[in-house]
Amino acid sequence: MKLIIAVVQDDDANDLIDLLTEKNFRVTKLATTGGFLKSGNTTLMIGVEEDKIDEVIGQIEEVCKTRNQIMTAPSPVAGSTGVYVPYPIEVKVGGATIFVIDVDKFVKI
């Protein structure tokens, strides 16, 4: 068995969960926060047999869109004056960041 861990954007999460559960995949949703943007995203844990990995990744690809997000980063205005002015940076986020992990043991009690 494999564990697919997919970090997706909040806006895509419910559509993806609906699609996966319709296709009989089991999904656990975690509310997570990205370290760079420090804003919310969603992490899904999906336990599957090895031969289903490509199908699940295909579903994720179908639903999860790439978006540009603006974040504000502080920048020193004048060298050592200690004055900081926020300036916007655009970053491209998603579709999804996917990890596939080997599961040594799976027990359902």
CB of 9 to ligand 2BA, least distance (A): 8
Query: What DSSP designation does 81 have?
Result: G
| Residue count, binding to ligand 2BA (CB under 6 A) | 11
| Contact window for ligand 2BA (CB under 6 A) among 12-20, 36-44, 52-60, 78-86 | 36-44
Cis status of the peptide bond prior to 95, with omega within 30 of 0: yes
Residue of 3, 19, 29, 34 interacting with ligand 2BA (CB under 6 A)? 34
At 94, list the tokens.
Answer: 């998603």
Q: How far apart are CA 27 and CA 13, in angstroms?
A: 11
The burial of 86, by beta-carbon neighbours within 10 Å (0-12 exposed, 13-18 middle, 19 or more buried), is given as exposed
Angle, vertex CA 11, rays to CA 6 and CA 9, nearest 5: 30
**Is residue 37 involved in binding ligand 2BA (CB under 6 A)?**
yes
Residue of 13, 20, 27, 41 interacting with ligand 2BA (CB under 6 A)? 41
Residue of 85, 91, 101, 103 interacting with ligand 2BA (CB under 6 A)? 91
Binding region for ligand 2BA (CB under 6 A) = 7, 34-37, 41, 91-94, 97
